[in-house]
Structure 1
Amino acid sequence: MIKINTSVLLAALICSTTACSKQSASDENTPHQPNVLFICVDDLRPELGCYGNDYIQSPNIDRLAETGTVFTNHFVSIPTCGASRYSILTGMYPRTKGQLSNEAIHHFISGKPEGEVPETFIHHLKRNGYYTVGIGKISHYVDGLLYGYTDSVGTELELPHSWNEMLFDPGKWGTGWNAFFGYADGSNRQSRNKQVKPYERGEVDDDGYPDGLTAKLAVEKLKELKQKDQPFFLGVGFFKPHLPFNAPAKYWDLYDEDEIALTPSPDLPENVNPASLHESGEFKSYQAGDEKPSLDQPVSDAYQRKLRHAYFAAVSYVDAQIGKVLDELEKSGLAENTIVVLWGDHGWHLGDHRVWGKHTIFERALKSALIIKVPDRSSGKQIDRIVSSVDIYPTLMELCEVDMNFETDGTSMLALLEDTNTPSWKDTAWGYFNQGISLRTPRYRLTKYFREAQPVVELYDHYADPNENANVASQHQEVVNELLPLLEQGNFGIYQD
């Protein structure tokens, strides 16, 4: 609901001139609640300049960080696209195995009648006076419409009650899914029967890949939204650096492949069953790849550098597209009253522990980028406290002055934004996948698997071992015993038979 400044109303009542009345009316129509620009980036590790990684070129995201708050220990709930987005959009940890699936939103939200509890935080903003626009991949389906990889474009919205507008430009690829897996010549993984490499150095400009078209669409939509007399929510979902790691050549040229460092975790973690990891199935579906990684045999150092180079180029490419949107926000004057959230839907193993992909509950897959800029409130801060994606829902509602008469699993981070040392913050985040639950605290990651393969309990000491190279549960049973009751607080029975 738009709040009207009572002093403006009083001024309108006592003004007798036409000019004064017109000015008062203009002030009254100005949105007083902040707008929200929510930028989703697929598979984005917190491996950016603003996170202290000087080998990554991400100047536009870094510029956002300089005027916002960087969360250095932000964790998603589930390390797969659709389920992670279901969790952040609803503010809830998973209650069933189905909520660990990429189809979680489809199965639990799509096609349902509008209920008392909103389907997402976007829906709740819409109910409270916000004009909501989605561009690209905000939920799981890449253009917000339900249809299969090789089908014609669907007509049913994945989120039926959240959007005033849902937009996407598929360009030369024709459909959202073709664009998502698209190559510079207009082909895609499906049309080429997976006989494609997991990377491409394209001799094209920024609009030669889909994210360039998404940025252009977002810029034009910001110009339109500026003319509205109500606050807006604009969600912009970029594809890269999701596989395939495709980017224009100029972003590849930012890096010297020979100087790219290898993973600090080249081997399986000590005292860990391979069942805790995976065989990089999604990565290997790009069947023309130079090598096929496995837990038994890592890729060569040269190929690892090639793939990391490709990922870094994709990050720099999407960073440039984000920069175009942020530039328009500034140019239009909207930045003065717009909250900006940049969120990575999960991390990614770049050969770490011999894995190429997400789908583990190790740090590399659960930790992702989160930057929040609040006008007149945050500037160049860094918050090292443990936060979860489920905390974003109540945070946005408090910042937007929207009441919640229902509960989520998250806690508003407004107190942290105001005082990073606030003693009341819980400093816990839970992650779920692969028959396991993982708890992150400031020092430890404790993971418990519900399976037969031993060991089923893993403990990583992040003070001594930030790359999680050794499970030390058997050496520190007292720490395990102390943390297990806390881990169980996040056990909602999803692995029970």
Structure 2
Amino acid sequence: MKNTSYFWLCSLALVSCERKNAEPKISQQPNVLFICVDDLRPELGCYGKEYIHSPNIDQLAKTGAVFTNHFVSIPTCGASRSSLLTGMYPQTKAHLSNEAIHNMISGQPEQEAPETFIHHLKRNGYYTVGVGKISHYADGLLYAYTDSVGTELELPHSWDEMLFDAGKWGTGWNAFFGYADGENRQSRNRQVKPYERGEVDDDGYPDGLTANLALTKLKELAQKKQPFFLGVGFFKPHLPFNAPTKYWDLYQEDDIPLSPIAAIPENVNKASLHNSGEFNGYQLGDEEASLEGPVSDAYGRKLRHAYFACVSYVDAQIGKLLDELDELGLAENTVVVLWGDHGWHLGDQLVWGKHTIFEQALKSAFIVRVPGITNGQPVNGVVSSVDIYPTLMDLCQVEMPHTTDGKSMLPILAGDKLAWKNEAFGYFRNGITLRTDRYRLTKYFRNEQPMIELYDHANDPHEKRNIAAEHPELVEELMSLWEKGNTGLYDQ
């Protein structure tokens, strides 16, 4: 399966023209390694944050495309993944739920339209394997947090194999909220801290087991005479911020920067934010977060330290996968995608968590490596997670007989920056937000005023001040573009 970059340049020409009658050859289609990382904001070395230890992701970025303005559609895990996998913005309030896939896809008979882009690849000759959290449920099986492991797949038609090693935790959800001693948030009735410095090696937390399982599967897939899609989903840096001690030791806590925006933005109603309920659910936290004021600087640094340690821990697991791709001779014919399912407020705007439609919750890490096309240059255009579906179909030479809300990013991956749309829409908290290359315009469907927020990222990159009331003409101009993202879900 080892090809030269000439194939990729030929592919670029192929996918940019009509392919109605083309029959792609299996041997020429690339493999796809799709790495999902929970709650990964774009705070990495390759994003200019030199205080973060992320050498393996940074190395990937050197031969990939680092998207500096990638935004998810919905700032919560299950709904964001649903939007990614279907290539669609939310049409109903049900699409905003973590149970979006469960309620709208699971248990359904196979339809003419594929349930996900993974299903579409499977129909077109790909062998599809999931390891870890790709959709919403921690191991891809449907069951409640405290139940025994389920038997029904969350995505019934997408996978040839869905795998997970729950280790000492026993179930996927126990592992997702797991601590180093084998206990978890549920078993301890939430009487836990939101962080842990574990005296264990990489395999002492679930993501180490996920990496090992993926390495084993990669070796098997390398022997197949068939292109593969391997999705690998890592839990960290999702709460609880638990990581082995050696990753904590990469940082000096006193040197860790605090949030530059530890206050509610000017001219903004608190209804646009929240009181960090998920975070405060870890009931042995040192302090409680609220919109009444920031946590202490010492606790803020401790929490950011814990989050950064988790990022470095996951970076090490990703490095194992990338090294194995090279070792097996697969790198030259494998598209690698690294995707964070949303961002996370680390005390920004007084919030610890996601669940807002501010920049910190919607902007996430996104890197794509396409051998022979990407070259380590940043891509600054505004893109959305819904654009990933059609992009992968172009790269894999798979026809798209159905439409999605996304647009293929192949032209800007290849360096063509002309005529890109530069828009992304986000949905949550009874609001819809538009992000352009300069502005964020948000409209909320609620009684609390103000209902319109406008931020100028050229002068206010941290969204500290809502300027909508000062610039009604700009609001009016942008509102016509905002309407493109108004799917009517709040009219129901």
Q: TM-score normalized by structure 2? A: 0.95
Q: 1:258-297 residue pairs with structure 2 within 5 A?
A: 258-297=254-293
Structure 1 SS opposite 2:401: coil
Matched, 1:210 2:211: no
2:451 counterpart residue number: 456
1:380 counterpart residue number: 376
Q: Distance in 2 between matches of 1:174 and 1:99?
A: 30
TM-aligned CA deviation for residue 379 of structure 1: 1.4
Give per-residue Cα distances to partners, 1:249-303, cap 9 Å, x unaligned.
Answer: 0000000001111100011000000000000000011000000010013210100
Give per-residue Cα distances to partners, 1:55-74, cap 9 Å, x unaligned.
Answer: 10000000000011000000
Whether the aligned pair in 2 keeps the contact of 1:440 and 1:446 (CA below 8 Å) is yes
TM-aligned CA deviation for residue 381 of structure 1: 1.4
Q: Distance in 2 between matches of 1:107 and 1:65?
A: 36
Task: Choose from 134, 140, 150 the match for 1:138.
Answer: 134
1:24 counterpart residue number: none
2:430 counterpart residue number: 435
Q: Distance in 2 between matches of 1:381 and 1:171?
A: 39
Matched, 1:232 2:232: no
Give per-residue Cα distances to partners, 1:168-226, cap 9 Å, x unaligned.
Answer: 00000000000000000000000000000000000000000000000000111000000
Whether the aligned pair in 1 keeps the contact of 2:411 and 2:417 (CA below 8 Å) is no
Q: Distance in 2 between matches of 1:37 and 1:259?
A: 35
Give per-residue Cα distances to partners, 1:4-41, cap 9 Å, x unaligned.
Answer: x9xxxxxxxxxxxxxxxxxxxxxx99822000000000
Give per-residue Cα distances to partners, 1:357-390, cap 9 Å, x unaligned.
Answer: 0000000000000000001111111100000000
1:57 counterpart residue number: 53
AA matched with 1:348: W
Task: Choose from 90, 102, 106 the match for 1:106.
Answer: 102
State the Cα RMSD in Å.
1.2
Structure 2 SS opposite 1:132: strand
1:408 counterpart residue number: 404
Task: Choose from 321, 341, 345 the match for 2:341.
Answer: 345
Q: Distance in 2 between matches of 1:143 and 1:151?
A: 13
Structure 2 SS opposite 1:31: helix
AA matched with 1:465: D
Matched, 1:495 2:490: yes
Q: Distance in 2 between matches of 1:319 and 1:446?
A: 34
Matched, 1:326 2:322: yes
2:471 counterpart residue number: 476
TM-aligned CA deviation for residue 167 of structure 1: 0.1
Structure 2 SS opposite 1:489: helix
Task: Choose from 362, 366, 369 the match for 2:362.
Answer: 366
Q: Which runs of 4+ in 1 moved over 6 A?
A: none
AA matched with 1:464: N
Give 1 or 2 for the bigger CA radius of gyration: 1
CA gap of 1:128–1:203, structure 2 versus 1, over 3 A, is same
Whether the aligned pair in 2 keeps the contact of 1:383 and 1:420 (CA below 8 Å) is no
Q: Distance in 2 between matches of 1:42 and 1:433?
A: 18
Structure 1 SS opposite 2:197: strand
Structure 2 SS opposite 1:495: helix
Structure 2 SS opposite 1:403: coil
Q: 1:21-170 residue pairs with structure 2 within 5 A?
A: 31-170=27-166
Structure 2 SS opposite 1:439: strand
Task: Choose from 472, 481, 492 the match for 1:486.
Answer: 481
CA gap of 1:310–1:491, structure 2 versus 1, over 3 A, is same
Q: Distance in 1 between matches of 2:322 and 2:414?
A: 24
Give per-residue Cα distances to partners, 1:145-182, cap 9 Å, x unaligned.
Answer: 00000000000000000000000000000000000000
AA matched with 1:291: E
TM-aligned CA deviation for residue 478 of structure 1: 1.1
TM-aligned CA deviation for residue 485 of structure 1: 1.1
Give per-residue Cα distances to partners, 1:315-370, cap 9 Å, x unaligned.
Answer: 00000000001110110001110000000000000000100000000000000000
Structure 2 SS opposite 1:93: coil
Structure 2 SS opposite 1:488: helix
Task: Choose from 295, 299, 307 the match for 2:295.
Answer: 299
Structure 1 SS opposite 2:27: coil
Give per-residue Cα distances to partners, 1:89-120, cap 9 Å, x unaligned.
Answer: 00000000000000000001000000010000
Q: Aligned residues, how many?
A: 470
Q: Distance in 2 between matches of 1:302 and 1:479?
A: 41
Whether the aligned pair in 2 keeps the contact of 1:29 and 1:229 (CA below 8 Å) is no
1:188 counterpart residue number: 184
AA matched with 2:72: V
Whether the aligned pair in 1 keeps the contact of 2:263 and 2:293 (CA below 8 Å) is no
Q: Distance in 2 between matches of 1:495 and 1:279?
A: 23
Give per-residue Cα distances to partners, 1:64-89, cap 9 Å, x unaligned.
Answer: 00011000000000000000000000
Q: Distance in 1 between matches of 2:92 and 2:237?
A: 29
Q: Distance in 2 between matches of 1:350 and 1:29?
A: 47
Q: Distance in 1 between matches of 2:366 and 2:347?
A: 23
1:466 counterpart residue number: 461
Q: TM-score normalized by structure 1? A: 0.94
Q: Which runs of 5+ in 2 are unaligned?
A: 2-23
1:446 counterpart residue number: 441
1:250 counterpart residue number: 246
AA matched with 2:200: V
Q: Distance in 1 between matches of 2:123 and 2:230?
A: 15
Q: Distance in 2 between matches of 1:401 and 1:377?
A: 15
Structure 2 SS opposite 1:471: coil
Q: Distance in 1 between matches of 2:153 and 2:454?
A: 42
Q: Distance in 1 between matches of 2:400 and 2:474?
A: 37
Q: Distance in 2 between matches of 1:451 and 1:245?
A: 34
